[in-house]
Amino acid sequence: MLTGELMKAVYPGSFDPITYGHLDIITRASRIVDELVVGILVNNTKRPMFTMDERLEMLRETVKDLHNVEVKTFEGMTIDFARQNGAKVIIRGLRVISDYETEMQIAQTNRSLDPEIETLFLSTGLEYSFLSSTIAKEVAFYNAGVEKLVPPIVARKFKEKYKKKIFKEDFSNG
């Protein structure tokens, strides 16, 4: 990297939805790099609970006070998303050992595709090491205190989603 060049990074993921674990990584990465672009992956093979617009809205609202962070959506390969944004770094979060194997594979693949782009792993804060979007969805479903796991806008969206679902079920039963 040339002296004086800005260090830009991308942080890709599904963010279905964003949790405090993701936010922890975003906040810490934003202190390391000059500019951080959070990328929400469009063509994910997982069937998402939240639409792209909802995920975008939740992420943008959550990071609105972090001035060097922007949120975009992308399709295709992370490496292309990094290139398109002039980023030389890909940020990923590591929670537990089981994340390690897949994350390593992804990082090695990306490096073989473009050796100029480095993957930077940030270890999760201990208090979020158990947390995933899937866990948050489950806790929200059982109405068991999801506020501790996700930002307020996400907790509200969960309520709306599950209320609608319960409503529909009530309807079909009656």
User: Which residues of the shown chain bind ligand ADP in the complex (CB under 6 A)?
Assistant: 13-15, 19, 21-22, 25, 92-93, 95, 99, 124, 128, 131-133
Shorter beta-carbon distance to ligand ADP: residue 3 or 110: 110
Shorter beta-carbon distance to ligand ADP: residue 93 or 151: 93
Whole-angstrom CA distances from 172 to 40, 45, 160 are 34, 30, 18
- CA dihedral over 61, 157, 77, 117, signed as positive or negative: positive
> What 3-state class would DSSP assign to 173?
helix
DSSP 136-168: HHHHHHTTS-GGGTS-HHHHHHHHHHHHHHHHH
- For the bound state, the minimum distance from the C-beta of residue 41 to ligand ADP, rounded and expressed in Å, comes to 6
| Contact between 71 and 40 (Cβ < 8 Å) | yes
Q: Any known ligand binding at 112?
A: no
**165 classed as catalytic:** no
**172 classed as catalytic:** no
Shorter beta-carbon distance to ligand ADP: residue 18 or 88: 18
**133 classed as catalytic:** yes
**67 classed as catalytic:** no
Q: Return binding residues.
A: 14-15, 22, 46, 78, 92-95, 103, 128-134
